[in-house]
A = this chain, B = another copy of it.
């Protein structure tokens, strides 16, 4: 059976990982599109080459759930699949709930990595703050575990992840080799179609506009749907994640979970309240 370039690369990567770590790593996987999502299955397939995999993913789609946690309702979890070196659970909560529940009750040791995704749709620029995919990665990071969120710029439920998977493996391998600083995780977005390479980026400045569409229901009552479009405040600016993606590069943004603005912190010391 012949192998694609991606498959050969994955084999080489696997060898490197195994030689880097003392034992087979425990890789915790989740997402926000839910346990049935294609992107999750594709991610698990890649990660099983590198280590033992535990999946704890929402039983329902949880897009846009950010770092939300279930404060007022009980959570349920159920095992849905188990094979040698692989176990998958569905959980009734948010992506962050999945990480918390998984870490506290479903794994017997702290995972070596949290990998979230592969999201169906981009999480570049400020979408990092709304994204459940990144919410889960941030949660892993808060637990001191190197964490990465992966997103493919294709919202289709049957999106083609074949090219993306090789880049997932490459980024993962780099994190294994280089490590990540405490309180920093990665937001990785992968363009749809051909891929020119990879760029370390910063979060693009921008915002969503005309975000809610007003409609009238059959009972003549108004309601609103989230819609709108993204306005990039710095189009064509090199070094931003959206510029990388626009030019068919994978974007990698290091995300700081310490949200303190150091510069403003210094300036505010002179404030008289």
Contacts and interface: CB of A to CB of B under 8 A. Distances in A.
Contacts of A75: 212, 223-226
A254 B261 contact: yes
A205 interface: yes
Contacts of A181: 261, 263-264, 267
Given A198-B273, A214-B105, A273-B174, A256 B260 contact: yes
Nearest to A252: B268
A272 to B, nearest CB: 7
25 contacts: A61-B72, A66-B66, A66-B69, A66-B96, A67-B67, A74-B215, A74-B217, A75-B212, A76-B221, A76-B222, A96-B130, A101-B224, A104-B210, A104-B211, A105-B212, A129-B138, A143-B207, A171-B273, A181-B264, A181-B267, A200-B269, A202-B265, A205-B258, A254-B268, A257-B259
Interface of A: 61, 63-72, 74-77, 94, 96-97, 100-101, 103-105, 126, 128-130, 135, 138, 142-144, 170-171, 173-174, 178, 180-181, 183-184, 198, 200-203, 205, 207-208, 210-212, 214-215, 217, 221-226, 252-265, 267-269, 271-273
